Amino acid sequence: MTTAAIVEPLDSGLAPATDRESTRLLRRLLRRPVTVVCMVWLAVVVIVAIVAPILMPHVASQNAGNIFKVLQGPSRQHLLGTDSVGRDVLDRLLVGTRVTMLGVVESVFVTLVIGVPAGLAAGYLGGRTDRAIGWLTDLTLSLPGIALVLVVLSIFPSSMLAGMVTLGVILSPFTTRVVRSATLPIREELYIAAAQVSGLSRFYIITRHVLSRILGVVIVLAAIYAATSLVTQTGLAYLGLIVPLPAPSWGGMVGDGISALTNQPWLIWPPGVAMTLTVVAFGLLGDAVRDVTAERWSGARVQRPGRRRAAPMAGAGPSPVAPAPASDALLCVQNLTVRFPSRGSVRVIDDVSFEIAAGETVGLVGESGCGKTVTAMSLLRLLPGDGEIVAGRITFDGRDLASLPEEQLRRVRGREIGLISQEPMVSLTPAFRVGWQLALSVRVHHGVSRRAAQATAIELLRSVHLPDPGLVARLYPHELSGGMAQRVAIARALAGEPKLLIADEPTTALDVTVQAEILELLRELQRDRGMAILLVTHDWGVVADLCDRAVVMYAGQVVEQAELNPLFRRPLHPYTRALLMSDLHNAPDLDHLPSIPGSVPKPGAWPHGCHFHPRCGYATAACRDQPIPLEHPTAGRDTRCIHADQLSVLR
Amino acid sequence: MTDSGALLDVRDLTVEYSRGRGRPPLRAVDGVSFSLTARETLGLVGESGSGKTTIGRAILGLAPVTAGEIRFAGEEITAASRQRRRALSTELQVVFQDPYSSLNPTRTIGQTLSEVMRAHGRPAREDVQERVHAMLEHVGLPSDATDRYPAHFSGGQRQRVAIARALMNQPRLVICDEPTSALDLSVQAQVLNLLRGLQHEFELGYLFISHDLAVVRHLSHRIVVLYRGRIMEHGDAAAVYANPAHPYTVALLDAAPVPDPEIQQQRRGVRVRKAVTGPPVDDANGCSFAPRCPHVIDRCRTSRPALEAMPEGTLVACHRWRELHTNGANSRPPQPLSTTT
Amino acid sequence: MSALTHSGMWRPAGRMVGHPVVRVVLRRAVLAVPLLFVVSALSFVLSSLAPTNVIDLRLPSGTAAQRAQLARQLGFDQPIYDRYWHWLVHALGGNLGTSYVTGQRVTTEIGQRFPVTLSLVIPTMLVMFVIGVGAGVASAVRGGAVGRAIDTLSLVGFALPGFWVGAVLVSLFAVRLHLFPAIGYVSLAQSPTDWARSMVLPVAALSLLPIAVMARQMREAMMDVLASEHVRMARANGIPPRLIVGRLALKSASMRAVTVGGLQVVGLLTGTLFVEQVFTLPGLGSGLTAAASTGDVPVLQGIVVFFTLIIVVINLAVDLTYTLLDPRMRTS
């Protein structure tokens, strides 16, 4: 029996990524104009550092220049003026570049050579090695760094090498710490465990798998250290401790300028500007590398925070108004379409429509990438990043949420529509006690006193069946188990006594026995409060357990909508049908499970016509040619399939 | 159930993690024993904290073993040296849960697959290429995948790559640590079919770890049910699924919702409500499930039940298994009918 | 372990708050002792290697016998570990020796210089926290043009070397405009207004870098928090923005402020060396520089050990603040 059921075509939404990592990084860097300018400037500096002393060998030992032209400002003969003994400032600036940059190179080299291996060893090997290196790092960090540099310089007077090497050693614990904390999460990645199990040696894993991942961090560090070392080197040169006279250096020239400050204030500017420009160049380069390596994983270009259109707190604004619906359902979603401009402006959900009556539980079902979470989040306009509603209407209790101003929408959130999410442990603020956070919600929604809010908070905890609510209220989120945290999250969502609760995969992250209890709790709360629930999930068992109706989504669209029993008995869309059939719980005894060939198309790569047709056994030419509208074959049932009548009964 | 010809033989495995001064260590795995032969799939089922993942890691040498023995093909590997582990990697492999974390995003598929083969000896370039392409074909991926990075693949496709990597050196035993838990439903079916097919073709043994009893049931010949590091039930997969003997297994099966609204309604009515009450239990000297068990008696809190063999062959660790089993207290509500295709 | 733990619903609650504070102080104190020991030994050995002309200074025209006697007095004939031991014993008794250059007791010198450095460092710290944190938070919350402006200003602040900025400020405000004194220090006791005037430019020069770093770090920390899941859920629950920023986000980001603040304060010690030089302030920094250039070993040693002590105190303060801010530290 062949094992390759299907040879899958690979979707290449992006350009063929066959180039090496480093070339792609470089290309991305070069796309930013600011970065290019920085790199050019630094290249110029390096060239000057190498070339200038060769072209002007006399400058380094020049003790005095033209003593009749002392402390002159810029002129045609001396472009940057002359110093206190008549030497040309420009010449000295150019020649002094070498010693300045040499110091930077020495310091950065030492700190990386010590810090990177130490950080890698501490992070990867852990245990005793980590503790020993950590102890050494703490010790070095507690040393008065600059003082030790001075002490060393007093042993080796005017030796820049000694000073810069000591500086490198002083800076190395920072490197170790940063490299270590970058290594730790990589260490936990499963591909490291897989590499170990595959029999690769530790050295190979550290160099090929870990080091290549942290290279970006190391480059950023190098840039920052270059900047810091430059400032320190010039400072030490200013103090006269590292560059023996009469050799020029940028720091020394500043010193010269300070002593002549009252007579010729211009002198401090040429070296100062040179220093500042170079440090800025290092800093911007470091930032650019950091952004580019962050981009790599997300794919999209990282927006520098300043360039974001809307401020983080405001969220997407209201969308254009659409006509009001006829029905009197609690929530009526019509033709909802959402887009993310930063991700190439593709639509993530398209023409989504469904209704929820008061007290009803509706399941929004689909696999990952179908858009169910985006749909749920857009109801409260809580889309991540810069997602925006471009069309459609969300009628809730007579108002259109899609076009409501932010101020009013805020009053709907929590008070009329509640939300619980998938990961309960991270949905509560870690720095505050659980009871305090609940009481805060109560106060915000009902405006009661602190004491009354506290009492209500405890009542809420009791209503979600938490034993000893008084004790729980005093706990911090990290002290709760998963099930407890979800109960607390539910209690908080109920604080405003909402008419509708949006539950986004509330039990996915929980154990199955805990899941059963939470679903039971939701059922009970709904019964007692007459609350409607929109349950977003991928689990058909959960839908069967809790919901009255289900809305099935695929690739950004609603493909079917029906009450539970009719849906399970006879689905009217091939996708729903295939999904139900491939569910293990329906067929544990089968040798070969029915599966759907291919994979879900990503937004932007949706097929023309029916989004499901490439994977569908019932597809015809008509399915491919034009978009399929949502039809209503019988009351209470919607389907987006033109061959629905061909589908036989499932059970 | 210990068999001298077994591929994998685990005896009284105990794994403890220290929790700092003044606190007793955490027993992630507590006296677990089972064995596995070639071409057999043994399923380890449990929720979080059951120790199932730790057992897998201990067998692979990724977790420290406090006590007990692990034997692979007759050889003891409990405290195997680093060199021995590296040699073992040609026979003992793993497929992890998270397809997004189990492949290095900065290396191409080709590099990921070939490096595991080059870790052993110095194979010729053509041989490596040939094996890589053969493996990709076995798992149903096109050959041009070798030049692409993981970012271009969906979760299901990445998991296929992970499976291909595990099989590159033709192992005898593969530990599948929740290989389908992070995948969508439709993709789960694809991957499970693939695993089953590969088992036939390459005569592999699988240690299949999962929290989902239905998934384990589908692929396994025998099942081990774990709770807080201890074995609660151990027997033939079909028997355990249809006729669970241990109250925890019953609870597990009852709690998992089935995609059938009518049946779910019936199950809800029958499901026994467990009250969270009762005085504390000394872990070492009682049944770990006692605080949550609807059939608990005093003896359960003071004496840890040993694994006893039932007439059908299933092992169960419960003081009251005889009465519960014969009374039908553990019998389960009707199951969903198989669908007509 | 309680029954609730067994049910899978419970985790042990935290201990009393007081205890961890004591533990933290004790741990730091215990670590400080070997640290001071190591640092003082290290710097003693290193500084003793430095060539020194103290004998020439004291006895420029002395006889060989007089010079030999002075050398014995100063302990130059003894092995290094003996000399260190003597120094250590005296130091524990509060005597750090006498300066080779001035002949003054080192402790007196430190006592004179410390208030000067303090009047430089403390206002800088205040400025750093107030302006740095304020700017960082504002730029994270506002976004847009304000954010970009602060980002750019941070980079500039980071790039401008403190001593050069000092020189520019002197050139502008002191020499040109005669608003503030260019050099010199007036003690607080003598004349508060003059003291304040003499501190304005030095504090401005020294604080540029810390403000820039603090603003940048706070901006990033706030943006991280504002993008986090728990803030999203707070918004979903209808909590108004002022509460989200003012209570939830600020508290969560405060840890970063403390970490960065601690590092920057330690960095200020480095900065004082250069700023005190430019403005001719008789503080510990300029004292250190002078001692290094003249080979005045006792003063060098004394200030190095004193700096280490300051760093220990700063680290202790940081640790204590962590314990207060982070509930996880109290219960782990």
CB pairs under 8 A between A and B: 249
Q: Per the domain annotation, does A620 fall within a domain?
A: yes
Residues 500-519 of A with CB under 8 A from B: 511-516, 519
Above 50 in pLDDT, residue A130?
Answer: yes
Least confident of A25-34, A584-593, B43-52: A584-593
Average pLDDT of the residues in A163-181: 93
The C-alpha of C71 sits at a distance from chain A's nearest C-alpha, in angstroms, of 19
pLDDT digits (tens, 9 = 90+) for A417-436: 999 999 988 999 988 999 99
Least confident of A164-173, A491-500, A625-634: A625-634
Smallest CA-to-CA distance from B254 within B270, B275, B276, B237 is with B270
Indicate whether A510 and A633 sit together in one domain.
yes
Query: Cβ contact (<8 Å) for C3 and B292?
Result: no
What band does B331 get if pLDDT is binned at 50, 70 and 90? low
Least confident of A75-84, A181-190, C111-120: A75-84
Least confident of A137-141, B261-265, C66-70: C66-70
Question: Testing the interface with C: which of A136, A138, A143, A154 to mutate, by most C Cβ within 10 A?
Answer: A154
Question: Chain B within 8 Å of C4 (Cβ-Cβ)?
Answer: yes
pLDDT at B93: 94
Question: Testing the interface with B: which of C2, C6, C9, C19 to mutate, by most B Cβ within 10 A?
Answer: C6
Indicate whether A212 and A352 sit together in one domain.
no
Choose the final residue of a domain: A295, A310, A342: A295
- Whole-angstrom Cα distance, residue C201 to residue B43? 74
Smallest CA-to-CA distance from A514 within B237, C10, B269 is with C10
Considering only residues A331 and A302, tell me which one the structure prediction assigns the higher pLDDT: A331
Indicate whether A226 and A372 sit together in one domain.
no
pLDDT at A295: 60
Indicate whether A218 and A363 sit together in one domain.
no
What band does B272 get if pLDDT is binned at 50, 70 and 90? low
Query: Cβ contact (<8 Å) for C3 and B283?
Result: no
Q: Per the domain annotation, does A373 fall within a domain?
A: yes
- Whole-angstrom Cα distance, residue C189 to residue C281? 16
- Whole-angstrom Cα distance, residue A383 to residue A386? 7
Above 60 in pLDDT, residue A139?
Answer: yes
Q: Per the domain annotation, does A443 fall within a domain?
A: no
Least confident of A296-300, A331-335, C285-289: A296-300
Q: Per the domain annotation, does A442 fall within a domain?
A: no
pLDDT digits (tens, 9 = 90+) for A596-620: 888 888 888 888 889 999 888 888 8
pLDDT at B165: 94
Indicate whether A389 and A530 sit together in one domain.
yes
pLDDT at B248: 92
pLDDT at B327: 60
Above 70 in pLDDT, residue B263?
Answer: yes
Choose the final residue of a domain: A248, A269, A295: A295
The boundaries of the domain holding residue A229 are: 32-295
What band does B66 get if pLDDT is binned at 50, 70 and 90? very high
pLDDT at C298: 85
The per-residue DSSP string of A291-357 comes to HHHHHHHH-SPPPPGGG-SS-TTT-S-PPPP-PPPS---SEEEEEEEEEEGGGTTEEEEEEEEEEE-
pLDDT digits (tens, 9 = 90+) for C313-326: 888 888 888 888 77
Average pLDDT of the residues in A25-50: 88
What band does C6 get if pLDDT is binned at 50, 70 and 90? very low
Across the interface, which of A9, A199, A543 has its CB nearest the CB of B119?
Answer: A199
Above 90 in pLDDT, residue A356?
Answer: yes
Indicate whether A264 and A343 sit together in one domain.
no
The pair of three-digit structure tokens given for residue A633, joined into one six-digit string: 């074959």
Query: Which residues of chain B does C23 touch, with a Cβ-Cβ cutoff of 8 Å?
Result: none
pLDDT at C43: 82
Query: Cβ contact (<8 Å) for A495 and C4?
Result: no
Query: Cβ contact (<8 Å) for B276 and C3?
Result: yes
Above 70 in pLDDT, residue C18?
Answer: no
Above 60 in pLDDT, residue A518?
Answer: yes
Question: Chain B within 8 Å of C11 (Cβ-Cβ)?
Answer: no
Which H or E element spans position B175? strand B173-177
Query: What ipTM was reported for this prediction?
Result: 0.86
pLDDT digits (tens, 9 = 90+) for C190-227: 778 888 888 888 999 999 999 999 998 898 888 888 88
Average per-residue pLDDT for chain C: 81
Q: Which CATH number fits the domain that encloses residue A540?
A: 3.40.50.300
Query: Which residues of chain B does C7 touch, with a Cβ-Cβ cutoff of 8 Å?
Result: 276, 291-292
Indicate whether A98 and A156 sit together in one domain.
yes
Question: Chain A within 8 Å of C173 (Cβ-Cβ)?
Answer: no
Least confident of A106-115, A500-509, B276-285, C8-17: C8-17
Average pLDDT of the residues in C162-178: 84
Average pLDDT of the residues in A523-538: 93
Residues 267-306 of B with CB under 8 A from C: 276-281, 283, 288, 290-292
Q: Which CATH number fits the domain that encloses residue A142?
A: 1.10.3720.10
Please name the residue that has the structure tokens 């619980």.
A420
Question: Testing the interface with A: which of C137, C225, C230 to mutate, by most A Cβ within 10 A?
Answer: C230
Q: Per the domain annotation, does A324 fall within a domain?
A: no
Considering only residues B1 and A418, tell me which one the structure prediction assigns the higher pLDDT: A418
Question: What is the CA angle C13-C19-C24, rounded to 5?
Answer: 115
What ranges in A464-573 are assigned the alpha helix state H?
A: 469-473, 482-494, 512-529, 540-546, 564-569
Residue A77: DSSP 8-state: S
pLDDT at A117: 94
Q: Identify whether the C-beta of residue A238 lies closer than 8 Å to the C-beta of residue A251.
A: yes
pLDDT digits (tens, 9 = 90+) for C84-126: 888 888 888 888 888 877 878 888 899 999 999 999 999 999 9
Q: How far apart are the first and last CA of chain A?
A: 30
Indicate whether A289 and A375 sit together in one domain.
no
CB pairs under 8 A between A and C: 262
- Whole-angstrom Cα distance, residue B174 to residue B96? 10
- Whole-angstrom Cα distance, residue A484 to residue A492? 12
Residue A82: DSSP 8-state: B
Above 60 in pLDDT, residue A15?
Answer: no
- Whole-angstrom Cα distance, residue A449 to residue B57? 53
What band does A154 get if pLDDT is binned at 50, 70 and 90? confident
Question: Chain C within 8 Å of B50 (Cβ-Cβ)?
Answer: no
Average pLDDT of the residues in C289-295: 83
Least confident of A182-186, A436-440, B269-273: B269-273
What band does B235 get if pLDDT is binned at 50, 70 and 90? very high
Smallest CA-to-CA distance from C9 within C1, C17, C18 is with C1
What band does A21 get if pLDDT is binned at 50, 70 and 90? low
* Percent of chain B residues past pLDDT 90, beyond the cut: 43
pLDDT at A489: 95
The C-alpha of B280 sits at a distance from chain C's nearest C-alpha, in angstroms, of 4
pLDDT digits (tens, 9 = 90+) for C121-165: 999 999 999 999 999 888 888 877 888 888 888 888 888 888 899
Above 50 in pLDDT, residue B180?
Answer: yes
Q: Per the domain annotation, does A220 fall within a domain?
A: yes
Chain B residue closest in CA terms to A22: B106
Across the interface, which of B49, B280, B288 has its CB nearest the CB of C3?
Answer: B280
Query: Cβ contact (<8 Å) for A144 and C235?
Result: no
Average pLDDT of the residues in B215-225: 91
pLDDT at A8: 43
Question: Chain B within 8 Å of A579 (Cβ-Cβ)?
Answer: yes
With H, G, I as helix, E, B as strand and everything else as coil, classify residue B307: coil
What ranges in chain C are assigned the alpha helix state H?
A: 3-6, 18-49, 54-58, 64-73, 80-92, 106-127, 134-142, 144-159, 162-169, 192-226, 229-236, 241-243, 250-278, 284-294, 297-325, 327-331
Q: Identify whether the C-beta of residue A359 lies closer than 8 Å to the C-beta of residue A387.
A: no
What band does B271 get if pLDDT is binned at 50, 70 and 90? low
What band does A17 get if pLDDT is binned at 50, 70 and 90? very low
With H, G, I as helix, E, B as strand and everything else as coil, classify residue A502: strand
Residues 212-241 of A with CB under 8 A from B: 212-213
pLDDT at A324: 60
Average pLDDT of the residues in A325-334: 81
Q: Per the domain annotation, does A304 fall within a domain?
A: no
Above 70 in pLDDT, residue A320?
Answer: no
Q: Per the domain annotation, does A300 fall within a domain?
A: no
Average per-residue pLDDT for chain A: 85
Indicate whether A234 and A333 sit together in one domain.
no
Choose the final residue of a domain: A295, A310, A337: A295
Indicate whether A127 and A204 sit together in one domain.
yes
pLDDT at B22: 74
Above 80 in pLDDT, residue B172?
Answer: yes
Above 60 in pLDDT, residue B9?
Answer: yes
Average pLDDT of the residues in A483-497: 93
Q: In this structure, how many other beta carbons lie within 10 angstroms of the beta carbon of residue B282?
A: 10
Considering only residues C190 and A39, tell me which one the structure prediction assigns the higher pLDDT: A39
pLDDT at B208: 95
Domain count, chain A: 2
Indicate whether A407 and A537 sit together in one domain.
yes
Average per-residue pLDDT for chain B: 85
Indicate whether A233 and A351 sit together in one domain.
no
Question: What is the CA angle A159-A164-A167, rounded to 5?
Answer: 135
Least confident of A76-85, A479-488, C165-174, C283-292: A76-85
pLDDT at A123: 92
The pair of three-digit structure tokens given for residue A437, joined into one six-digit string: 């956070």
What band does A11 get if pLDDT is binned at 50, 70 and 90? very low
